[in-house]
Amino acid sequence: LEPFVLRSWWGGVQMGPPDPILGVTEAFKRDTNPKKMNLGVGAYRDDKGKPFVLSCVRKAEALIAAKQLDKEYLPIGGLGDFTKACAQLALGANNEVLSSGRNITVQTISGTGSLRIGANFLSRFHGGSRDVYLPKPSWGNHTPIFRDAGMQLKAYRYYDPSTCGFDFRGALEDISKIPEQSVILLHACAHNPTGVDPKQEQWKEISDIVKKRNLLVFFDMAYQGFASGDIDRDAWAVRYFIEQGHNILLSQSFAKNMGLYGERVGGFTVVCKDIEESKRVESQLKILIRPIYSNPPMNGARIATTILNTPELRLLWLEEVHGMANRIIKMREQLVAGLKKSGSSHNWQHVIDQIGMFCFTGLKPEQVERLTKEFSVYMTKDGRISMAGISSGNVGYLAEGIHAVTK
Amino acid sequence: MALLKSNKVISCLGNISPSLGVLSTRNSSWWGGVQMGPPDPILGVTEAFKRDTNPKKMNLGVGAYRDDKGKPFVLSCVRKAEALIAAKQLDKEYLPIGGLGDFTKACAQLALGANNEVLSSGRNITVQTISGTGSLRIGANFLSRFHGGSRDVYLPKPSWGNHTPIFRDAGMQLKAYRYYDPSTCGFDFRGALEDISKIPEQSVILLHACAHNPTGVDPKQEQWKEISDIVKKRNLLVFFDMAYQGFASGDIDRDAWAVRYFIEQGHNILLSQSFAKNMGLYGERVGGFTVVCKDIEESKRVESQLKILIRPIYSNPPMNGARIATTILNTPELRLLWLEEVHGMANRIIKMREQLVAGLKKSGSSHNWQHVIDQIGMFCFTGLKPEQVERLTKEFSVYMTKDGRISMAGISSGNVGYLAEGIHAVTK
């Protein structure tokens, strides 16, 4: 037996695989090419490639600092004014759900924290099924979130690589076969990683088939406002499903649409049958949350609340979110124009049709590798690029590079 | 067919048999089987306190520091740090999964001492966490996934209420070792050693580094040494919970003595730290979790797995509180100011203990209240029985948890006399 001081508890702990997306940034940092581009980053950048802190956020911070508030613990479910404003933003201030009080909304640690609370809640209280159906593909972190919470992952067809668009027929076929009471996760807008969203008429059919199959709907809305530039338009599917009678679970994030990334601001909502049920669900959410982190961080929630509830800041925010979405849309248009100008004969319409932060270029792994090696353009192997990493200064270079590896 | 299209009938059918065609699901319920959960015992105390109209009421349930006017206290060093940070107009980009690098470094240094061999050899991995609770939970999850040696976590009896669900929800089993001696309101040293000597090898033992919650009873240094020996003999995995460094004695190095001693003795510990109390950063949620490994190579493997564990819980931790704590720890004049202010908070608590005992003697109490002075930190286990606690609440509007625990922070020079009278009245 080894001397006590040399013993090891963790001899059996293997080195885990590096995070795929962080690996991209690591390699990018090491590259010395002055024309290098990091298109892996899932955070908005301005047209100079710099992180962007919204003016409404700075103004809100100044207002908050002036109040010299204390730092007492928030309640387990978070800042009351925040959860109220958060639910109103998603559902619309006049939503019947809010006036009847049949939702419970808790403040969470951004979108990930919200999804995990939801996953844990399902694992503990959803007797109907262990299965969560994700679109194929989905955000990489969805899988370990639900799996670590004790759920099983399954999938439904979503992305059609032959069109770089929505596989509507495939989705309906697969959803129509999902066993009753399974959980189905839907991206409310700006699907990550593909940028491919269903049209409103398609959402209606999805709602019908989900209702027929009696599935529990879990919406992940990480990009409200950021997708089309219009917060109500981006929340359309969520509100439609609720109108249609789905008592949904909903995760919201303010990381992208308010640029509050590292402040970790999010919400988790359960739309219940009535207010009585929402009280029972609330009590159990608190019992679940308390042994994970006790209560959520205050700073980001105070900022978000100040913005949402101060009329001139809310207006400013809506403008700035619109501005961010517009810059992305412009980059899409400029990239396609640049590809045409470079002489590409491929159909790049999907770059314009896709929506939100990300674009599934359709590039194959070997093409991605060439783009990285020969042009120092970094992206994930699935061909996903973050439009945020593109600026008017480098979109031409990117177009040339993509054309070079695809002609 | 018209009948089947009637919403009312459809919703009835929907409740009975969900698979019958297209139904209005508006009235159906996924959560019919979800029971109303019991209210949090401590929050229940505050709720009742709020409803009470007695102007002399006292809330001694609250686990947050109050100044001598009973007000929440934001430290000056915190306000100054915030001003420095605001002036820099920093961005809000995601922190790494393991948190702010400067924070985790300063956090580990604070606990272990800047010259600790563990730090120079790089054999610790320290991640930023969501205060103490978040730290304990990450540790519990890590144990559940990677500690093959045992499912059992041994808590002192009693321990902080939230320890149990933290470890249980992470998949561990809870056991206990004797700790508090109600007959002395002190440490049951013999009982603790006896119980620890029987713990199966490789089990996890949780130790409160200082200012035990809820009793305020800490082992003396000589007792810690014996505990270290028996824990070593039994080959137990030590998990220290240090939520009150600096807040217990007023001296950060003194409060970290047990943690540092155990490391010196060769225990490769797990350690949870919180800055909620000692920096008053409660709602900012600032904490750290450390694994002291065999060597730097092991720490890298452990780090990689901690990140894989953390990413699907919350991706990366909140930045604001960590920036404040780091600014304080790394800016010399702010660090000095902080040490003064932490000393001040601890001193006010100690003074309240002395004044309470003096008040009890003055009221004419013949009981031995020495334990109120001997106990340390935010809380005091008065020794009051449940029926005495009930009388104190009903007749004097003094609110505390049923186990007789009072938060010294809720006492001020203005109301300590009233409290002494009340306690005397229910115990004479």
pLDDT tens track for A29-72 = 999 999 999 999 789 999 999 999 999 999 999 999 999 999 99
Work out how many CB contacts closer than 8 A connect A with B.
241
- Interval B406-427: pLDDT, tens: 999 999 999 999 999 999 999 9
- Interval A359-382: pLDDT, tens: 999 999 999 999 999 999 999 999
Structure letter (DSSP) for residue B30: S
d(CA B351, CA B373): 9
**pLDDT value at residue A4:** 66
Across the interface, do A14 and B281 touch by the CB < 8 Å criterion? Answer: no
Is residue A187 pLDDT above 70, yes or no? yes
Mean pLDDT of B298-327: 98
d(CA B181, CA B215): 10
d(CA B129, CA B145): 18
Q: Return the closest-CA partner of residue B353 out of B156, B182, B202, B216.
A: B216
Q: Determine phi and psi for B315, rounding to 5 degrees.
A: 70, -55
Is residue B8 pLDDT above 80, yes or no? no
Q: What is the ipTM of this complex?
A: 0.96
Contacts of B134 in chain A (CB under 8 A): 292-294
Mean pLDDT of B66-93: 96
Q: How far apart are the first and last CA of chain B?
A: 79
Q: Are A374 and A310 in contact (CB under 8 A)?
A: no
* Residues making up chain A, counted from first to last: 407
Structure letter (DSSP) for residue A186: E
Q: Are A175 and A136 in contact (CB under 8 A)?
A: no
Across the interface, do A125 and B33 touch by the CB < 8 Å criterion? Answer: yes
Amino acid present at B362: K
- Contacting residues for A283 by C-beta, under 8 A, at least 6 apart: B36, B37, B39
**pLDDT value at residue A66:** 96
Is-catalytic flag, B241? yes
Q: Are A114 and A267 in contact (CB under 8 A)?
A: yes
- Point out the residue among B34, B130, B165 whose CB comes nearest to the CB of A125: B34
- Transcribe A297-327 into DSSP letters: -HHHHHHHHHHHHSHHHHHHHHHHHHHHHHH
Collapsing DSSP to helix, strand or coil, B175 comes out as: strand
A72 in contact with chain B, both atoms CB, cutoff 8 A: yes
Give CA A270 to chain center in angstroms.
Answer: 18
Is residue B10 pLDDT above 60, yes or no? no
Q: Are A74 and A64 in contact (CB under 8 A)?
A: no
**pLDDT value at residue B41:** 79
d(CA A198, CA A238): 13
- Point out the residue among A58, A245, A279 whose CB comes nearest to the CB of B36: A279
**pLDDT value at residue B16:** 40
**pLDDT value at residue A183:** 98
Interface of B with A in 338-397 (CB under 8 A): none
Contacts of A291 in chain B (CB under 8 A): 133, 137, 162, 165-166, 168-169
Chain A residue closest in CA terms to B163: A291
Is residue B7 pLDDT above 50, yes or no? no
Across the interface, do A297 and B284 touch by the CB < 8 Å criterion? Answer: yes
Amino acid present at A354: Q
Among residues B160, B224, B338, B369, the one annotated as catalytic is: B160
Q: Are B87 and B232 in contact (CB under 8 A)?
A: no
Q: Are B140 and B112 in contact (CB under 8 A)?
A: no
Selected for mutation to probe chain A from B97, B315, B319 (highest A CB count within 10 Å) is B315
Across the interface, do B31 and A273 touch by the CB < 8 Å criterion? Answer: yes
Mean pLDDT of B37-60: 89
Contacts of B166 in chain A (CB under 8 A): 291
Q: Are A90 and A308 in contact (CB under 8 A)?
A: no
Across the interface, do B133 and A19 touch by the CB < 8 Å criterion? Answer: no
Across the interface, do B285 and A292 touch by the CB < 8 Å criterion? Answer: no
Amino acid present at A179: P
- Interval A4-33: pLDDT, tens: 666 789 999 999 998 777 778 888 999 999
Q: How far is CA B218 from CA B38, B155, B244, B317, in A?
A: 31, 14, 12, 32
A308 in contact with chain B, both atoms CB, cutoff 8 A: no
Amino acid present at A357: M
Q: Return the closest-CA partner of residue B228 out of B189, B177, B263.
A: B263
Interface of B with A in 146-205 (CB under 8 A): 146-149, 162, 165-166, 168-169
Contacts of B94 in chain A (CB under 8 A): 43, 255, 261-262
Q: Are B227 and B388 in contact (CB under 8 A)?
A: no
Cα torsion A78, A84, A87, A89 to 10°: value is: -120
Helices and strands: H and E segment counts in chain B: 18, 13
- Point out the residue among A8, A43, A71 whose CB comes nearest to the CB of B284: A71
A48 in contact with chain B, both atoms CB, cutoff 8 A: no
d(CA A52, CA A44): 7
Rounded to a whole number of angstroms, the distance from the CA of B63 to the nearest CA of chain A is 10
The band of B12, judged by pLDDT with boundaries at 50, 70 and 90, is very low
- Point out the residue among B148, B300, B312 whose CB comes nearest to the CB of A116: B312
Rounded to a whole number of angstroms, the distance from the CA of B365 to the nearest CA of chain A is 36
- Transcribe B334-389 into DSSP letters: HHHHHHHHHHHHHHHHHHHHHHHHHHHHHHT--S--HHHHHS-SSEEE----HHHH
A27 in contact with chain B, both atoms CB, cutoff 8 A: no
Question: How much of chain A exceeds pLDDT 90, in percent?
Answer: 95
Which residues are A134's β-sheet partners? A155
Is residue B6 pLDDT above 80, yes or no? no
Rounded to a whole number of angstroms, the distance from the CA of B103 to the nearest CA of chain A is 14
Contacts of A262 in chain B (CB under 8 A): 92-95, 316, 318-319
Rounded to a whole number of angstroms, the distance from the CA of A169 to the nearest CA of chain B is 20
**pLDDT value at residue A23:** 79
Rounded to a whole number of angstroms, the distance from the CA of A30 to the nearest CA of chain B is 18
**pLDDT value at residue A289:** 98
d(CA B337, CA B331): 10
Rounded to a whole number of angstroms, the distance from the CA of B183 to the nearest CA of chain A is 31
Q: Are B125 and B105 in contact (CB under 8 A)?
A: no
Contacts of A15 in chain B (CB under 8 A): 300-301, 304
Q: Return the closest-CA partner of residue B172 out of B270, B248, B257.
A: B270
Mean pLDDT of A324-340: 97
Q: Record the pTM.
A: 0.95
CA atoms within 13 A on the CB side of A235: 22
Which residues are A103's β-sheet partners? A271
Q: Are A400 and A361 in contact (CB under 8 A)?
A: no
Q: Are A241 and A274 in contact (CB under 8 A)?
A: no
Q: How far apart are the first and last CA of chain A?
A: 64
Selected for mutation to probe chain B from A8, A10, A103, A139 (highest B CB count within 10 Å) is A10
Q: Determine phi and psi for A271, rounding to 5 degrees.
A: -90, 115
B423 in contact with chain A, both atoms CB, cutoff 8 A: no
d(CA A228, CA A324): 10
B282 in contact with chain A, both atoms CB, cutoff 8 A: yes
Collapsing DSSP to helix, strand or coil, A75 comes out as: coil
Structure letter (DSSP) for residue A232: H
Q: Return the closest-CA partner of residue A291 out of B37, B19, B388.
A: B37
Which residues are B175's β-sheet partners? B154
Q: How far is CA A234 from CA A89, A321, A329, A353, B212, in A?
A: 11, 12, 15, 15, 50
Specify the pairing of strand A103-108 against strand A266-271: antiparallel
- Point out the residue among A270, A287, A291 whose CB comes nearest to the CB of B137: A291
- DSSP run (H or E) holding A107: strand A103-108
**pLDDT value at residue B5:** 43
The band of B26, judged by pLDDT with boundaries at 50, 70 and 90, is low
Rounded to a whole number of angstroms, the distance from the CA of B196 to the nearest CA of chain A is 18
d(CA B372, CA B260): 27
- Point out the residue among B25, B146, B307 whose CB comes nearest to the CB of A13: B146
A14 in contact with chain B, both atoms CB, cutoff 8 A: yes
- Point out the residue among A19, A208, A259 whose CB comes nearest to the CB of B22: A208
Contacts of B228 in chain A (CB under 8 A): none
More confident residue, A24 or A170: A170
**pLDDT value at residue A3:** 66
- DSSP run (H or E) holding B154: strand B152-157
- Interval B164-173: pLDDT, tens: 999 999 999 9
Rounded to a whole number of angstroms, the distance from the CA of A61 to the nearest CA of chain B is 9
The band of B336, judged by pLDDT with boundaries at 50, 70 and 90, is very high
Among residues B195, B277, B338, B369, the one annotated as catalytic is: B277
**pLDDT value at residue A2:** 63
- Interval A86-143: pLDDT, tens: 999 999 999 999 999 999 999 999 999 999 999 999 999 999 999 999 999 999 999 9
Q: Which is it for the CA torsion B244, B246, B252, B258, positive or negative? A: negative
Mean pLDDT of B212-227: 97
Mean pLDDT of B183-206: 97
Q: Return the closest-CA partner of residue A177 out of A131, A124, A238.
A: A131
**pLDDT value at residue B33:** 94
Across the interface, do A264 and B317 touch by the CB < 8 Å criterion? Answer: yes
Across the interface, do A13 and B301 touch by the CB < 8 Å criterion? Answer: yes
